[in-house]
Every structure is written in structure tokens, then in C-alpha cells.
């Protein structure tokens, strides 16, 4: 915590030689008053949110991948034609923080989830956080989650403790499916050396009770989990249609996190290796879900989103592709921050539209709240910005033109419009980071791979630090005003005021 605050101060000091007044606007980032009331008849659309794991910008055909990665993705490409495709949708750069930011509408540092837990056994969102599922549940939605959580694996911290009516999936991550293959690990489990050195389980949960362990998440279960999650999601949708409630389906798939292995059904199908097979599998499952909406006659009243938690997997042999950008997850590079984002809402979200406006995954919280008639909490700092009118094509510009870039709990820099100012960098997520006395500046139009930090071009643009300071300074002040929750904080958490 101290390190991060220190780095903010340092960054701020460099910028403030010329004394910038902290603008209160960003910090307050008061949830905009709901314009959803302007939506016809106040009808609440269903929401299906596909949230891939370590799925880079370059994988899909409509983003320059598909056949260049070993298999076409025709159904997702068609989805993009039916909706709006974003080329500048940004996330936090690791699994846990990205999911925390999505679920809370807040930078992950605030909720104590700034980094994947390495030695913090009791981790994840405190119950005090109001998740997207809780917000939508309060707005009258049925909520189902099928897949990976990675926001807590102890009692009181499962998805069904945080607003989901039901959940099938894993609490942590997929590398743990490899543990039971290691004889030494199995010996350690018998020795009971740590409550956390145990196999990960696939759980089946319902709100109001402890989730039940279904089976060990081992390398065999790993092959089928996305198939099972797709089936569960389809069943959930079919059962909800019989009720009057709108639904929220959160599908955080696992298959593109290492080990990247296709299901038995798709193994060898592309003829071009695991990545091609997995792409075919994903495209097929998305097609099934879209078919289900069509068969039920609810496609027009369902918002369907395809996106990812962070940039590509970095482990050689399992590595993904960031397309025109550089870098894998666990870095501050564009390949880490930018992920595919497709949104389809027939007759509402413009079809066949592409936008390079900046949006952050956090923004889905306030946007969904607006559309669903939910409430954004007023008793805490919220970083989410409502993008309803932008998504609906009522305005060309996003309501956001920048954000703070974190890697873990470390403030790395600022992204603003087509510029980045980076105080820290890391080439690969497992390398040591570099810290600069003079930040690196990148013009993403002329230097999309962030290779030329100090050139005649950037030197003529050092003024960009001032609009960036308008983002950075209030952010730093907000962390002082409302200190971040420390990782590992137990429940019940009560904020100091």
C-alpha cells in the first residue's frame, strides 16, 4: 500500500511542479442520474456477459485473428456485424483485479483486489462491496454465473454470497487444475501443511447456502468445464424465460487461460493445434447461446456482450495473441489493456459500427445500472462512468477519455486519448519492472507497439502530462480520502470514516 501511494506522490510531484488544482470532478465521479428512464417503456433487457480469460485482442476473426490463428470465428464475427465492436476497450491487467473492477465499478486497488493473490490465502471482495450482481439483483434481475470467479475461495466470499442466485464453476483459477497431476502436491495435501495447498473444486451454489463441492478441478475436469458452463447457462436462460424476471448471465469462461487445452469434442478439429481448436470451441459455444436466445424469441431484448478479463496468456506454448499491440497480461502495455469488446442489442445498439473511443470495463457497472434501473452506491467512491448514450449511438464520444494504469498494486502510468505516460514498465509479466525518473511517452497512433518513448514527436507533446494530471491527481487524492481496503481484510469490513 505504501509503495503504491508513494508512487502516486512521486508521479504527482513530477507533474505538479506547476501546481494543478485537483479537480473534484473525477474523484466525485458521481453516478450520473439515470437516463435509463428515457428507455422506452422502462423495459429491462436481459444481459448476457461473456468474459473470456486471458483472451487477447488479436484472436477473433473480426479483430484480425480467426484464420490467422488457426480457425475462423464466423459466429462471433457475425455478432460483431450485428452490434458495435470496440477497438479501445480497456481492463485491469490480471485476473483478480479485472474481475474486481468489473464487479464493483471501482479500481481494483480500492477493494483490496489489486493483484492476483500469491500468498494471501483469504482474499477477494469483502461483503461490503456491492457487486454488479447485487446491484442487478436489487433491480429485479435473476442472476446466474457459470465459470471462474477468482474473487475469493473462503466461506462468505463465493459468487452466491455476492449477489448471484446460482453459480457453477471454480473459485480460483485454471492453473490449479494442474496441481493434482503432481505427486508431490498430493503428498503435501495429505500432510495438511496449508489450508490452501489443497485441490481446487468445481462448485455448485445457490444463494443463501454454502456452495457444494461437485468434483476436483483436475486436468480431466478442465477439459469439460466450459461445456458444462455453457449447458448450465442455456438451462438458466430457458428456465428464466418462464418467469417475469429479466436475467443477468455472467459467463467467465476458462479455456484460454493456461493450460490452453480444447475439450475432447474439439481436440484436433481445426487441424492447426490447440489454439485453433479452442477458437472453434468458443465460437461454437457462443453460437449455441445466440441460437438459444433466437429459439426463445428473446434476442431483441437481450444485451449480449463478448469480452475478456485481460490481454493474452504469456506462458510459452499456451500464449495468445494481442494483434497489433504489444505485450501479454501482467504488463501495462496495450496488448494487456485492450481486449475485444462486442456489444449487441438489436435495434438499440447500432449495428455494424466500430469505435475507437476509450471505455473501461469498470464502466459496465454504471451503464448496466442505468439501463436496468439499478442503483450505483453513493456511500463510496465509484470509478465507473455511465456509457449508455454512447453505447446506444446517441453520441459519438465516450464519456471517458482516460484512466489510471495499474499493474498489480503498482501505479504504472496514465492512458489519455491516444497517449500514454508511463512511470513504470514491465516487458513480460514475470520480469522485474523498470522505474523511470522521467516517464516514457507514447503516441499510440504513430507507435502502437510502444517502442519509441522519447522521440522528436513525443518531445513536442510533453504537454499531454497536464490533461493526464487531471486524471492522476484526483485519483491520488481519492485514495487518501478513502483508503484502499487491505488485501486479506476479513469480513465484516466497515470503512473508517
Residues forming the site for Ca ion (CB under 5 A):
53-54, 95, 127, 309-310
Q: Which residue, 83 or 114, is less far from Ca ion as judged by CB?
A: 114
Min dist CB 134 to Ca ion, Å, is: 5
Other CB atoms within a 10 A radius of the CB of residue 73 amount to 25
Q: Which residue, 99 or 348, is less far from Ca ion as judged by CB?
A: 99
Cell numbers placing 222: 478442465
Min dist CB 422 to Ca ion, Å, is: 21
Q: Which residue, 326 or 465, is less far from Ca ion as judged by CB?
A: 326
The SS3 assignment for 50 reads strand
Cell numbers placing 156: 462468505
Cell numbers placing 169: 464453476
Q: Which residue, 122 or 349, is less far from Ca ion as judged by CB?
A: 122
Other CB atoms within a 10 A radius of the CB of residue 190 amount to 7
Q: Which residue, 32 or 127, is less far from Ca ion as judged by CB?
A: 127
Min dist CB 4 to Ca ion, Å, is: 21
Q: Which residues pair with 411 in a beta bridge?
A: 406
Cell numbers placing 9: 506522490
**Alpha-carbon gap, residue 378 to 316, rounded angstroms:** 44
Min dist CB 129 to Ca ion, Å, is: 5
Min dist CB 380 to Ca ion, Å, is: 12
Min dist CB 437 to Ca ion, Å, is: 32
Query: How many residues belong to the chain?
Result: 497
Q: Which residue, 131 or 355, is less far from Ca ion as judged by CB?
A: 131
Q: Which residue, 27 or 93, is less far from Ca ion as judged by CB?
A: 93
Min dist CB 490 to Ca ion, Å, is: 14
**Alpha-carbon gap, residue 432 to 20, rounded angstroms:** 32
Q: Which residue, 271 or 492, is less far from Ca ion as judged by CB?
A: 492
Interior angle at CA 305, CA 299 and CA 307, nearest 5: 155
**Alpha-carbon gap, residue 101 to 236, rounded angstroms:** 25
Q: Which single residue is written with the C-alpha cell 508513494? A: 6
Phi, psi angle pair for 419, to nearest 5°? -120, 150
DSSP string, 377-424: -SSS-------HHHHTTS-SS-S--EEEEEETTEEEEEEETTEEEEEE
| Strand pairing class (302-308; 338-344) | antiparallel
Min dist CB 130 to Ca ion, Å, is: 6
Q: Which residue, 54 or 399, is less far from Ca ion as judged by CB?
A: 54
Which of 332, 303, 338, 299 minimizes the C-alpha distance to 55? 338
Q: Which residue, 311 or 439, is less far from Ca ion as judged by CB?
A: 311
Min dist CB 91 to Ca ion, Å, is: 9
E-strand ranges in 207-301 read 212-216, 247-251
Q: Which residue, 135 or 293, is less far from Ca ion as judged by CB?
A: 135
Min dist CB 50 to Ca ion, Å, is: 14
Q: Which residue, 93 or 469, is less far from Ca ion as judged by CB?
A: 93
Min dist CB 218 to Ca ion, Å, is: 20
**Alpha-carbon gap, residue 11 to 437, rounded angstroms:** 9
For the chain, the straight-line distance linking the first and the last C-alpha, in angstroms and rounded, comes to 19
| Residue 492: DSSP 8-state | S
Which residues have C-beta within 8 Å of that of residue 393, sequence separation ≥ 6? 84, 349, 350, 353
Q: Which residues pair with 175 in a beta bridge?
A: none
Q: Which residue, 161 or 218, is less far from Ca ion as judged by CB?
A: 161
Min dist CB 94 to Ca ion, Å, is: 7
Which of 55, 51, 49, 78 minimizes the C-alpha distance to 279? 55
Phi, psi angle pair for 63, to nearest 5°? -115, 20
**Alpha-carbon gap, residue 396 to 415, rounded angstroms:** 20
Phi, psi angle pair for 167, to nearest 5°? -150, 135
**H/E segment holding residue 52:** strand 46-52
Min dist CB 307 to Ca ion, Å, is: 12
**Alpha-carbon gap, residue 183 to 335, rounded angstroms:** 36
Amino acid at each position: 500500500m505504501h509503495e503504491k501511494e508513494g508512487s502516486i506522490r512521486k508521479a504527482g510531484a513530477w507533474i505538479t511542479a506547476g501546481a494543478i488544482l485537483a479537480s473534484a470532478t473525477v474523484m466525485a465521479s458521481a453516478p450520473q442520474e439515470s437516463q435509463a428512464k428515457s428507455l422506452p417503456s422502462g423495459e429491462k433487457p436481459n444481459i448476457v456477459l461473456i468474459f473470456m480469460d486471458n483472451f487477447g485482442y488479436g484472436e477473433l476473426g473480426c479483430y484480425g485473428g480467426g484464420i490467422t490463428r488457426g480457425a475462423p470465428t464466423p459466429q462471433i464475427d457475425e455478432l460483431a456485424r450485428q452490434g458495435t465492436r470496440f477497438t479501445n476497450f480497456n481492463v485491469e491487467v490480471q485476473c483478480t483485479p479485472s474481475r474486481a473492477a468489473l464487479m464493483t465499478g471501482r479500481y481494483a486497488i480500492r477493494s483490496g483486489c489489486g493483484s492476483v493473490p500469491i500468498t494471501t490465502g483469504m482474499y477477494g471482495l469483502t461483503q461490503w462491496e456491492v457487486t454488479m450482481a447485487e446491484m442487478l439483483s436489487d433491480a429485479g434481475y435473476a442472476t446466474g454465473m457459470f465459470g471462474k470467479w477468482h474473487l475469493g475461495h473462503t466461506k462468505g466470499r463465493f459468487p452466491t454470497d455476492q449477489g448471484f442466485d446460482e453459480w457453477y464453476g471454480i473459485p480460483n483459477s485454471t492453473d490449479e487444475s494442474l496441481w493434482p497431476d503432481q505427486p508431490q502436491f498430493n503428498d503435501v495435501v495429505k500432510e495438511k501443511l496449508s489450508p490452501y495447498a489443497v485441490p481446487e473444486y468445481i462448485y455448485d451454489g445457490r444463494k443463501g447456502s454454502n456452495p457444494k463441492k461437485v468434483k476436483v478441478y483436475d486436468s480431466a475436469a478442465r477439459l469439460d468445464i466450459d461445456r458444462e458452463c455453457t449447458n448450465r447457462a442455456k438451462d438458466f436462460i430457458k428456465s428464466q424465460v418462464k418467469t417475469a424476471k429479466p436475467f443477468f448471465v455472467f459467463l467467465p469462461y476458462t479455456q484460454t487461460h493456461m493450460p490452453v487445452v480444447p475439450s475432447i469434442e474439439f481436440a484436433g478439429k481445426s487441424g492447426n493445434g490447440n489454439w485453433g481448436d479452442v477458437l472453434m470451441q468458443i465460437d461454437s459455444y457462443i453460437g449455441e447461446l445466440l441460437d438459444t436466445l433466437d429459439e426463445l424469441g428473446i434476442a431483441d431484448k437481450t444485451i449480449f456482450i463478448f469480452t475478456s478479463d485481460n490481454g493474452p496468456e504469456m506462458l510459452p506454448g499456451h500464449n495468445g495473441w494481442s494483434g497489433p499491440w504489444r505485450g501479454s497480461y501482467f504488463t501495462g502495455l496495450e496488448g494487456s489493456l485492450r481486449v475485444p469488446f462486442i456489444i449487441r442489442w438489436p435495434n438499440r445498439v447500432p449495428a455494424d459500427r466500430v469505435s475507437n473511443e476509450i471505455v473501461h470495463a469498470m464502466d459496465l457497472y454504471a451503464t448496466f445500472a442505468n439501463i436496468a434501473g439499478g442503483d450505483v452506491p453513493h456511500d463510496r467512491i465509484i470509478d465507473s462512468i455511465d456509457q449508455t448514450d454512447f453505447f446506444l449511438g446517441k453520441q459519438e464520444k465516450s464519456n471517458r477519455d482516460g484512466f489510471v494504469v495499474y499493474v498489480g498494486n503498482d501505479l504504472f502510468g496514465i492512458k489519455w486519448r491516444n497517449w500514454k505516460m508511463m512511470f513504470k514498465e514491465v516487458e513480460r509479466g514475470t520480469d522485474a519492472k523498470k522505474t523511470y525518473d522521467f516517464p516514457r511517452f507514447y503516441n499510440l497512433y504513430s507507435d502502437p507497439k510502444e517502442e519509441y518513448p522519447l522521440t522528436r514527436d513525443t518531445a513536442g507533446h510533453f504537454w499531454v502530462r497536464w490533461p493526464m494530471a487531471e486524471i492522476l491527481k484526483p485519483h491520488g487524492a481519492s485514495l487518501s480520502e478513502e483508503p484502499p481496503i487491505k488485501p486479506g481484510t476479513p469480513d465484516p469490513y466497515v470503512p473508517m470514516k
